[in-house]
Amino acid sequence: MAKIVVDVMLKPEILDPQGKAVAAALPRLGFTFAKDVRQGKRFEIEVDGEPTAAQLAEVEVAAEKLLSNPVIENFTVRVEK
């Protein structure tokens, strides 16, 4: 079943101490690939049947109003099969 996925990330200019902590922990485990890590949130929203354009538009509004704080975060909305 398809679901609506909202990804929320801190804006690039906002410091992300959690991402930094993860980036610092990786090399301690022998993983040396990471130049930088940013941590975000993912919301999976289920609706009845296939998401409609109207529902997606509503999710956009909800993402702006509640799921993200536009002062510090960006978000994307997409449908995942």
Partner 1 sequence: MKIGVVTFPGTLDDRDAARAVRHAGGEAVALWHNDADLHGVDAVILPGGFSYGDYLRCGAISRFSPVMEPIIKAAQSGMPLLGICNGFQVLAEAHLIPGALTRNHELHFLCRDQTICIENVNTAWTSSFSQGQEIVIPLKNGEGAYMCDDETLAMLEGEGRIIARYVGENPNGSRNLIAGVTNERGNIVGLMPHPEHAIDSLTGPSADGLGFFTSVLKSFISGGVK
Binding-site ranges for partner 1 (CB under 8 A): 10, 13-18, 21, 66-67, 69, 71-72
Nearer to partner 1, 14 or 57 (CB): 14
Nearer to partner 1, 42 or 81 (CB): 42
Instruction: Report how far residue 38's alpha carbon sits from residue 65's, in angstroms, rounded to the nearest whole number.
Output: 22
Residue 46 · residue 1 · CB < 8 Å:
yes
Closest CA to 76 of 46, 42, 27: 42
Q: Both tokens of residue 8?
A: 């929320």
We find the least distance from the C-beta atom of residue 10 to partner 1, in angstroms, to be 8
Nearer to partner 1, 14 or 34 (CB): 14
